[in-house]
Each structure stands twice: as structure tokens, then as C-alpha cells.
Chains A and B, each alone.
Chain A
Amino acid sequence: RKEVEQDPGPFNVPEGATVAFNCTYSNSASQSFFWYRQDCRKEPKLLMSVYSSGNEDGRFTAQLNRASQYISLLIRDSKLSDSATYLCVVNVGGANNLFFGTGTRLTVIP
């Protein structure tokens, strides 16, 4: 079983729509969680960390459910510039490395 699983999409949504991505992780000892964004042929860039209490950054909201080992990302009022691949990332404590999902591809359509 993979450490991190994501729906690869693609998600094609109109501008202004709300879209949600989900991710599950297999190791209950996982300690920190992130969403990264990756544009085509570019490096991953940190979008936001995910905290147990949930956190929001502008149009982006991240949630963590430790009991279900589940992470989500909600994007409100989608912009064309949100088109990218969104990577769910989990740090398994002590391993000092990140496990990446395969990414969910989002295309926002005018």
C-alpha cells in the first residue's frame, strides 16, 4: 500500500467554482502534513502546512482528520492561475523525508 494516496484527477472546473481534493495516508505515526503545488515542468512549491485544527490561507482551506488518516484541500473562487498539480505530502516522524502523493491535476477553465 502506498504511503500517500490521492485521486489523480484531472479536475476541470469553471472559474469561480469551489473544488476539493482529498488524500489518505497509511502511517498513523505521520507527524506533519503539507500541500504543495507543482506547475508543469517546475519544482514543487509549498502551498500550505496542514494543522490538526485546520487552517485557512485566503481562498485555500486545509483540514486534517487523524482518526481517518485523511487530509483535504478546499479551493474557493477558483482562478485560472490555480491550474496546477496539487501534491499531498506527509512526513513520517523520524524518517526525515517526505512521502508525496502522485498529485491531483486541476485545470480551471475560463
Chain B
Amino acid sequence: DTGVSQDPRHKITKRGQNVTFRCDPISEHNRLYWYRQTLGQGPEFLTYFQNEAQLEKSRLLSDRFSAERPKGSFSTLEIQRTEQGDSAMYLCASSPRGNQPQHFGDGTRLSIL
């Protein structure tokens, strides 16, 4: 399967714990995006990488959130000291260039107890 893959598919954790998600984009895509989606809403942009450079961050991305793409391939999204409001689907997408359609992974569903 050469699509975008995300791991884990589901994560349940207690409030205050740290969580880390991984995204492997389509191999020839140099742009990688993270989104958050809550029930009844469309995905909301969190951050964007072009190769290993993080070029843009949404105001939604508080200082508890950090994303990396160290070698310009896979990316990780870490949430520290999780809060109940962090419960959402976290989607990763990739594209070959900026205005091209983005292809999404299956997402990681995070539930905070």
C-alpha cells in the first residue's frame, strides 16, 4: 500500500499523559500536513512541512503540541499533558506540491479519559 499511513489508529489515554502519533506520507510527496477533526466539523489545519522544514503552524497548535519531520520523510505529532479537549481525530495528509490535492491517511482517533 503506497498511501499515507498513520499509527496508531486509536489511542485512549488519561488526561495529563503525553501521546505521540506517527505519519508516513506517500513516498514521493515532499509536503506533509497535520489536521484535527472533531465530530460534525471539517478538518482544521494544524501544521505543514515542506521536506524537513516546518513552514507553518496554526494558532490551534498550542505549546503543548509539537511536530517534527526530521529526515523529510515520516512525521510525528506529540501532545504533552493531554486535556479532554484534545479528543479528536488527528489526520495526516501529503501532497507533491502546494496546490495539488492532498491525500489523507486513515487518521489517529484520540480519546482522553
Verify that A and B bind, or say they do not: yes
- With a cutoff of 8 Å between Cβ atoms, the chain A residues found around residue B105 in the complex are 43
Is the CB of A18 closer than 8 A to any CB of chain B? Answer: no
- Chain A's closest residue to B47 (CB) is A97
Tell me the minimal C-beta distance from B32 to chain A in angstroms.
Answer: 11
- Whether A97 touches B41, Cβ cut-off 8 Å, given contacts A32-B99, A44-B91, A46-B101, is no
Q: How many A-B residue pairs have CB under 8 A?
A: 51
In the complex, which residues 70-92 of chain A have their Cβ closer than 8 Å to any Cβ of chain B? 87, 89, 91
Interface contact A44-B56, CB-CB below 8 Å: no
Is the CB of B22 closer than 8 A to any CB of chain A? Answer: no
- With a cutoff of 8 Å between Cβ atoms, the chain A residues found around residue B74 in the complex are none
Is the CB of A16 closer than 8 A to any CB of chain B? Answer: no
Query: Which of A's residues lie within 8 Å of B, judged by CB?
Result: 4, 8, 31-32, 34, 41-46, 49, 87, 89, 91, 93, 95-103
- Chain A's closest residue to B101 (CB) is A46
Interface residues on B, range: 20 to 34
Interface contact A97-B33, CB-CB below 8 Å: yes
Tell me the minimal C-beta distance from B67 to chain A in angstroms.
Answer: 13
The docked-state distance in angstroms from the alpha carbon of A103 to that of B38 is 12
Interface contact B107-A43, CB-CB below 8 Å: yes
- Chain B's closest residue to A101 (CB) is B42
Question: Please, could you name 30 A-B residue pairs with CB atoms under 8 Å apart, sorted by A?
Answer: A8-B40, A31-B99, A32-B99, A44-B43, A44-B91, A44-B104, A45-B104, A46-B101, A46-B103, A87-B42, A89-B42, A91-B98, A91-B99, A93-B99, A96-B31, A96-B48, A96-B56, A96-B98, A97-B48, A97-B58, A98-B43, A98-B45, A98-B102, A100-B43, A100-B44, A101-B42, A102-B40, A102-B41, A102-B42, A103-B42
In the complex, which residues 32-63 of chain B have their Cβ closer than 8 Å to any Cβ of chain A? 33, 40-45, 48, 50, 55-56, 58
Tell me the minimal C-beta distance from A30 to chain B in angstroms.
Answer: 11
Interface contact A100-B56, CB-CB below 8 Å: no
Name the 10 nearest CB pairs between A and B, nearest first: A100-B42, A43-B104, A97-B45, A32-B99, A46-B101, A96-B98, A100-B43, A102-B42, A44-B104, A43-B107
